[in-house]
Amino acid sequence: MLFLMFRIGKDRYVLDAEQIEQVLPFMAAKALPGAPEGVVGAINYHGAPVPLIDLSSLALGRPSAAVMSTRIILIRYPSAEGTQRRLALCAERIIETVAREASDFVPTGVEAGTPAYLGPVASDADGLIQWIRAEALLTPEIRAILFQDGGAEI
């Protein structure tokens, strides 16, 4: 499998490249006052609004740094209806793509209180890498808020 590696704080994480539509430069988002925690706002992608989730804000309670290596990852987010919607993720220090077998990733052994989107871990010479399960990033309540009109299917 191919993964996109990035950092949240000092830790390394990966997303399954199959879920990624495009990696975009960092851009300002239209703020959505009253949006749930982690939801920055919406970006304009080819004339359509796409909800933007800040992974640093979601995981660490602070926004991603506005630096050159911060990017927006446009993913195909699976909806409850079995279709896919666009969702944008802001991530710091996108490092590289890495090839790993799914079997390289093992449970962390710590499940209680762990957010559902944090998946298993793999190790390499630099330490642990955690797999972010994009399909589990949004709670049903946040998913209903962000895609209340259904949103544009991909």
| pLDDT of 63 above 80 | yes
| pLDDT of 106 above 60 | yes
Contact 20, 31 (CB under 8 A): no
CA 9, chain centre distance (Å): 14
pTM of the model as a whole: 0.89
Residue by residue, DSSP assigns 56-125 as HHHHHSSPPP-STT-EEEEEEEEPTTS-EEEEEEEEEEEEEEEE--GGG-B--S--TT--TTEEEEEEET
Give me the residues paired with residue 8 across strands: 11
Q: State the average pLDDT over residues 99-126.
A: 89
pLDDT at 112: 60
Q: State the average pLDDT over residues 29-45.
A: 88
Q: State the average pLDDT over residues 123-148.
A: 89
Residues written for the chain? 154
Quickly state the pLDDT bin for 126 (edges 50, 70, 90): very high
Q: Per mean pLDDT, which of 16-30, 32-46, 80-94 is the most reliable?
A: 16-30
Look up the CATH architecture of domain 2-146.
Beta Barrel (2.40)
Contact 9, 59 (CB under 8 A): yes
pLDDT at 94: 87
Q: Output helix, strand, coil percentages for the chain, rounded to the nearest 5.
A: 15, 50, 40
